[in-house]
Structure formats: C-alpha cells, structure tokens
Structure 1
C-alpha cells in the first residue's frame, strides 16, 4: 500500500519542479499594468509605480519577441528582455502635475524642472483610452497621448509656449 503513495508523491514533486522551470524560463516576467525600470534596453526590473526609476508601465506582454504591440505601436516602446523570450510593450509612467522632458538615453521621459523648450507638464492622467476631450483646455499646444493597453490618456501641456 505504501508504494502507490510514494509514486504519487514523486509525481507531485516532479510536476511542481516542472512548473517552476517553465515559469522561470521563457517569456518576460513582468505583467501588464506593472511599472518597471529598464536599463541597457534589455534589463527589466519590476518596481513600484512611485519609484524614481519607474519610467515605464507594461502595456502588453507578448510571448513572441517578433509580436506586435497594440494599434498605435509607435507610441509604445518595445523591449525584448534579456531574461528570456517574448517582448514587452511599454508606455511611459507619467505622474499628473509633474514635468518631463524627453530622455536622451532611451525612448522615455525623464522628470524635469518645469522649464525649458522641450519640457511638458502632465495636466491630467485619464484611466481610459481616447477620452482626450476630458483634458483640461490647454489651447492649441495641448498634446494628448492615448494608449489602448492599459487604457490611459496623458494630457500634456508645453511649459514654454511656442510663439504664434
């Protein structure tokens, strides 16, 4: 009677080990909606969205590194993590009321003092896609960036107005 119990226990241990190996191998480990820090364009680390280095939010996780990001993929930053196969479609992690300027080292925005020609201020973050009519009236210079996944609209206003 002991032999079947040992066989079942051995099978359970083998199945658990196989699950651990499958989950730790292949595919990015970050999840959609999580904030991440990225370095060297391939090193991705999950972090809290309030962290200073949390420059991105994961929009979509693709199992195949050749897969395509959502519809307006020119706005997403595609990253193939060094930790394994797959691709992450990243959007910026922008905070309402904070100023940003394009970062030189990667396709992201870096926090900035609210001065300068390329600097924008996040007027509003709307947790829905395509609702730029809810953006505060920033005049003709108002910029809205819409992401379908996760549904997010960033309402941006240039800090330094362009002369007419």
Structure 2
C-alpha cells in the first residue's frame, strides 16, 4: 500500500507543477500583452493612426515635402522613418532630394544627410508652423539635433513666430532662410 500512495503523491505533485508552470507562463504572456497595449496606446498619440510609417534606407526614394524622424539612438544611424507631418515626432521635413552625395542644397540652412550607398542626399529643414517650439542650435543646424517639443518643455530654445515668403515680422529675433520660405524664430531661453 505504500507504493500506490507514493505513486499518487508523485502524480499529484507532477500535476501541481504543471499547473504552476502553466499559470506562470500565462501571467508572463498577459504581462507582455499588457505592456504592448500600453506602449501602443501611448505611441499612437504622437502619430495619427491614418498613416503607416515607412522605413527609408534609400534616401533617393524620399519625396520632397515628406516628414521624417530618425530611427535609433542618434541621427548618424542610416535609416529614417517617413511620418505624417502633423505628428508630434515630425520635426524634420525633406526640402530637397539630391541625386548625388556631392550635390549642394539650394539656398538655406539645411541639415544634410548623405547616403553613399545609393549616391543620394537629403536637404532637411524643420517641419515648422507658427507657434511650434524646437530645440536646435540656430548657429549650426547641420550639427544640431532638431527636436520639436511642447512649448513648456525645458529643452525648448526657439519658437516659430512666422513662416514668411519674404522678410520676418518684428517680433522675430532671427530668420533662417530656405529656398521657398524664411523660418522666423524668437529665442525662448
């Protein structure tokens, strides 16, 4: 009789271990699903749901007027994502696509990204409208990380007071000229 009791106990223990393992796996799966749902919910606030981001590794395929954001930790990474220009992360807009890495951008202070693999370059300018706030180096846009923020953010250093076809209004402290417009800015901090 000792053997059947021991056998029943080992079967019960195996069943209990199986239940515990299944419960642990289920809790882990639910935690991952909950995390992804929260991440998706918050990330969707920045980009309108109507657009599908397109990862762009060949800069020659970029279109003038499309907005982009960098993928990865820094702007030196090859690869941009084309995003809706109305999204909060759309800080840069393609001003011109050059079909040669040695080409020059038109008149203006563009941020230039060169793609030597596809022999193309992008001339990028801030995706700006009146009232937008940015953090960027107004003296050297090429080396600057260009980020758009809520105007109350402590990192903001300039605010757009106008996008003019000619000269800037009086409240503008500096004008950044581009081929088709002048970005009129005032320093915030």
TM class by shorter-chain length? 0.5 to 0.7
Match of 1:61 among 87, 91, 97: 97
TM-score by length of structure 2 reads 0.55
Which residue pairs with 1:154 in the alignment?
183
Q: CA deviation at 1:147?
A: 0.3
Partner of 2:125: 91
Q: Does 1:143 align with 2:177?
A: no
* Contact 1:56/1:92, CA 8 A, preserved across alignment: yes
Tell me by how many angstroms 1:77 deviates: 0.9
Q: Say which one has the larger Rg.
A: 2
After TM superposition, give the deviation of residue 116 of structure 1 in Å: 6.0
Deviation of the 1:152 alpha carbon:
1.9
Give yes or no for the alignment of 1:33 onto 2:65: yes
Pick which of 40-49 and 28-37 moved more: 40-49
Give aligned pairs, total. Answer: 125
| Aligned mates of 1:52, 1:82 — CA distance in 2 | 29
Normalising to structure 1: TM-score of the pair?
A: 0.63
Partner of 1:102: 136
Structure richer in helix, relative to its length: 2
56-65 vs 31-40, which deviates more?
31-40
**Aligned-partner Cα distance in 2 for 1:122–1:54:** 15
- Alpha-carbon contact 1:117-1:159 (below 8 Å) kept: no
Q: Which runs of 5+ in 1 are unaligned?
A: 1-24
Query: 1:39-80: per-residue Cα shift (whole Å, max 9, x none)?
Result: 3433122221111221111111111112111133xx111112
Structure 2 residues not aligned, in runs of 5+? 1-56, 138-142
Does the 8 Å CA contact 2:173/2:184 hold for their aligned counterparts? yes
Give the alignment's Cα RMSD to 1 decimal.
3.1
Going from structure 1 to structure 2, the CA distance change for 1:112 and 1:59 (only over 3 Å counts) comes to same
Does structure 2 conserve the Cα–Cα contact (< 8 Å) formed by 1:43 and 1:82? no
Higher RCO (C-alpha under 8 Å, 6+ residues apart): 1
Task: State the match for 2:157 in structure 1.
Answer: 119
